[in-house]
């Protein structure tokens, strides 16, 4: 059977139709009060618009942003003009507030749909899409934790895209250790605060696209207890606001320098100095900030946002992997080289997709990126359940599952969709290593995702230290139960679904046994030494589950698309799932090899 070049090289609408409609049945959400009146047609229309904007306005400047990093000229951060144009169109299409309540200016669409939309923009140009992601995250954080006044004042301009948002957590001396931040916030007249300190690795730290930038900043008040329990959250705008809502003078927030990265170059990133008095000659120094919610609750507030941001990283990683897959597929369909079967040099060369190893590399990518997309959409769907289900028990079930899936949804695509990008390069051969083709940039861009919003190792610690024991282990139980529901459906069908279901069942049984051991041991140091192995094994089991789900939906389809889904599922079960064996063996033994490696022995 032949295959023509895919129509879009960002994502596949056919796959989204399958995942959103045939599998997740998002049109059923319209029966819930939060999404009342929304139909499949509405959702398709939104996806049409996203696809068009992403492919027409985001994708074309992918390389331009890579080649023209943000620079400071005359004291201003300069970005390629296409970034502004793309984000303006994005805001005008109301995508900043796609899942935010209508009463705050949003579209109040399901998060599962917003996730698909976000994926399309990240696939087209992840470093431009990142500005939007941060802005939506800032708005959501304020909505969830801010006072009515703060929300009224700051959220609508974020939703409209007039203001952008940032997250200011880490500091040069603190890195992942937020207990060690030293930025201080001193109360001043009128209930506001003055902030002093340096924030590091701030994406979107400063630029001229929006009227204002709303920094969400972690800092410590003078009376704060030491460590993470003393952290409070503040809104610190780039420009102060006049009482009438117009943008006023510069706040005491100074861009201290830009970071130059391997990839993701279109997203300006730098350090911010708060309270240096740079813009206030003779005036009062200290960056003006407004406390969000209660004092000393900043970390728990930020974690709320971080769960969202972590899944958003998973979405971005998946999307960048997905576009690399489609581009390498298009290349493999068109590039003639070598022969298969008839190797006579006088016969014509064949497209490289005919070579078994190239097909393996494409199928591996397909298994990774479609598996990742299923996982992050499933998480979006769970968030919709948390927001919109009628029964509290059902809402709690969804919440538990979402909690435990969050480190997986962040780390798994960051690891394996990056691996997909490496395979996309490999399919291109020497051309893949050349900057004439996009895939090398995708590989560089995607390498950020295992680092930011909590490194791979931090996700592993989150899973083994917090999530598997979350609410007395109920989140983990919920996960196993949910997987077993799918397994039972497979078992009942007999035949191939039963074969796959039994493989998954063995894997889950093994994971449960290991988890019981991990939760009951007193050797917490050995658990930490094997946390990454545990995370990676769990991730592969979860994605195998996603593939069994897809297999069951695609089971009786005759269309080539369904054949492809079934074959990718088989591939994942045969070539990928078995990786968990050695990983879980080491976790189960609480292997101490890394732990016992004395520092002096290196």
Contact criterion met (CB below 8 Å) for 79 and 206:
no
Contact criterion met (CB below 8 Å) for 126 and 82:
no
Looking at beta carbons only, is 455 or 505 nearer to a copy of itself?
A: 455
Q: How far apart are CA 170 and CA 198, in angstroms?
A: 9
Report the Cα 495 to chain-centroid distance in Å.
36
The 10 Å Cβ neighbour count of residue 352 is 24
CB of 594 to a copy of itself, least distance (A): 4
CB of 176 to a copy of itself, least distance (A): 7
List Cβ neighbours of 240 (8 Å cut-off, separation of 6 or more).
Answer: 248, 249, 250, 251, 288
Q: CA 351, 352, 356, 358: dihedral to nearest 10 degrees? A: -140
Q: How far apart are CA 528 and CA 381, in angstroms?
A: 31
Report the Cα 374 to chain-centroid distance in Å.
13
Q: How far apart are CA 338 and CA 352, in angstroms?
A: 7
Looking at beta carbons only, is 169 or 209 nearer to a copy of itself?
A: 169
Looking at beta carbons only, is 15 or 206 nearer to a copy of itself?
A: 15
Looking at beta carbons only, is 5 or 250 nearer to a copy of itself?
A: 5
Mapping DSSP to helix (H, G, I), strand (E, B) and coil, where does residue 181 land?
Answer: coil
Looking at beta carbons only, is 263 or 286 nearer to a copy of itself?
A: 263
CB of 202 to a copy of itself, least distance (A): 11
Query: Active site includes 453?
Result: yes
Looking at beta carbons only, is 100 or 577 nearer to a copy of itself?
A: 577
Burial of 30 (0-12, 13-18, 19+ CB in 10 A): middle
Angle at 208 between CA 204 and CA 213, to 5 degrees: 50
CB of 536 to a copy of itself, least distance (A): 12
CB of 65 to a copy of itself, least distance (A): 16
CB of 71 to a copy of itself, least distance (A): 14
Looking at beta carbons only, is 158 or 554 nearer to a copy of itself?
A: 554
Q: What is the DSSP string of 323-377?
A: HHHHHHHHHHHH-B-S-SS---TTSPP-BGGGSHHHHHHHHHHHHHHHHHHHHHH
Looking at beta carbons only, is 519 or 592 nearer to a copy of itself?
A: 592
The 10 Å Cβ neighbour count of residue 517 is 14
Residue 108: φ, ψ to 5°: 55, 40
Contact criterion met (CB below 8 Å) for 534 and 514:
yes
CB of 581 to a copy of itself, least distance (A): 7
The helix (run of H) or strand (run of E) holding residue 217 is: strand 212-220
Q: What is the DSSP string of 65-113?
A: HHHS--EEETTEEE--HHHHHHHHHHHHTTGGGTTS-GGGT-----HHH
Q: How far apart are CA 274 and CA 291, in angstroms?
A: 15
* Closest CA relative to residue 185, chosen from 255, 228, 138, 234: 234
Reading the block at residue 190, the tokens are 């009128």
**Considering 171, 453, 549, 576, which one is annotated as catalytic?**
453
CA distances from 14 to 21, 229, 307, 553, 562 (A): 10, 48, 29, 14, 11
Contact criterion met (CB below 8 Å) for 454 and 310:
yes
Looking at beta carbons only, is 354 or 396 nearer to a copy of itself?
A: 354
CB of 240 to a copy of itself, least distance (A): 30
CB of 152 to a copy of itself, least distance (A): 35
Q: How far apart are CA 417 and CA 314, in angstroms?
A: 9
Looking at beta carbons only, is 143 or 309 nearer to a copy of itself?
A: 309
CB of 370 to a copy of itself, least distance (A): 11
Reading the block at residue 461, the tokens are 């610690």
End-to-end Cα, the chain, rounded Å: 55
Active site residues: 453
């Amino acid at each position: 059977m032949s295959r023509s070049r895919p129509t879009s090289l960002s994502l596949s609408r056919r796959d989204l139709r399958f995942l959103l409609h045939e599998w997740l049945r998002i049109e059923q959400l319209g029966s819930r009060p939060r999404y009342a009146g929304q139909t499949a047609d509405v959702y398709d229309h939104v996806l049409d618009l996203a696809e068009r904007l992403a492919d027409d306005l985001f994708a074309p400047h992918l390389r331009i942003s890579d080649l023209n990093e943000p620079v400071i000229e005359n004291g201003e951060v300069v970005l390629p003009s296409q970034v502004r144009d793309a984000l303006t169109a994005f805001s005008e299409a109301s995508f900043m507030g796609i899942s935010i309540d209508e009463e705050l200016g949003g579209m109040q669409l399901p998060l599962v749909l917003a996730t698909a939309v976000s994926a399309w923009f990240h696939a087209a140009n992840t470093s431009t899409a990142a500005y939007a992601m941060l802005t939506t995250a800032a708005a959501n954080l304020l909505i969830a934790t801010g006072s009515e006044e703060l929300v009224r004042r700051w959220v609508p301009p974020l939703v409209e895209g007039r203001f952008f948002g940032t997250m200011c957590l880490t500091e040069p001396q603190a890195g992942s250790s937020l207990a060690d931040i030293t930025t201080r916030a001193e109360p001043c007249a009128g209930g506001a605060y003055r902030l002093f300190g340096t924030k590091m690795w701030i994406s979107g730290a400063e630029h001229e696209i929006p009227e204002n930038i709303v920094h969400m900043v972690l800092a410590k008040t003078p009376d704060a207890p030491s460590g993470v329990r003393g952290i409070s959250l503040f809104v610190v705008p780039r420009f102060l606001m006049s009482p009438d809502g117009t943008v006023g003078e510069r706040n005491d927030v100074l861009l201290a320098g830009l970071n130059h990265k391997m990839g993701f170059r279109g997203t300006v990133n730098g350090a911010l100095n708060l309270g240096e008095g740079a813009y206030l000659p003779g005036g009062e120094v200290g960056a003006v900030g407004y406390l969000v919610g209660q004092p000393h609750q900043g970390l728990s507030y930020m974690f709320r946002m971080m769960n969202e941001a972590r899944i958003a990283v998973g979405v971005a990683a998946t999307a960048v992997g997905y576009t690399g897959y489609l581009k390498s597929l298009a290349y493999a369909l068109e590039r003639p080289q070598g022969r298969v079967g008839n190797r006579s040099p006088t016969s014509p060369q064949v497209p490289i997709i005919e070579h078994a190893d190239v097909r393996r590399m494409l199928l591996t990518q397909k298994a990774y990126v479609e598996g990742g997309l299923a996982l992050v959409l499933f998480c979006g769907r769970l968030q919709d359940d948390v927001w919109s289900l009628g029964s509290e028990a059902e809402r709690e079930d969804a919440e538990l599952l979402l909690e435990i899936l969050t480190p997986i949804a962040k780390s798994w695509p960051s690891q394996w969709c990056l691996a997909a990008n490496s395979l996309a390069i490999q399919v291109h051969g020497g051309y893949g290593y050349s900057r004439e083709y996009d895939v090398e940039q995708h590989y560089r861009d995607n390498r950020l995702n295992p680092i930011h919003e909590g490194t791979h190792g931090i996700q592993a610690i989150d899973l083994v230290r917090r999530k598997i024991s979350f609410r007395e282990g109920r989140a983990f139980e919920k996960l196993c139960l949910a997987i077993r529901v799918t397994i039972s459906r497979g078992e009942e069908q007999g035949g191939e679904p039963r074969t796959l279901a039994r493989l998954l069942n063995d894997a889950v049984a093994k994971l449960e046994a290991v988890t019981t051991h991990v939760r009951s041991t007193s050797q917490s140091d050995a658990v930490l030494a094997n946390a990454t192995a545990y995370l990676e094994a769990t991730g592969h089991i979860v994605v195998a589950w996603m593939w069994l789900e897809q297999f069951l939906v695609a089971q009786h389809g005759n269309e080539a698309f369904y054949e492809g889904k079934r074959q990718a599922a088989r591939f994942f079960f045969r070539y990928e799932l078995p990786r968990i064996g050695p990983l879980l063996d080491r976790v189960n033994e609480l292997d101490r090899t890394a732990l016992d490696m004395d520092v002096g022995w290196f």
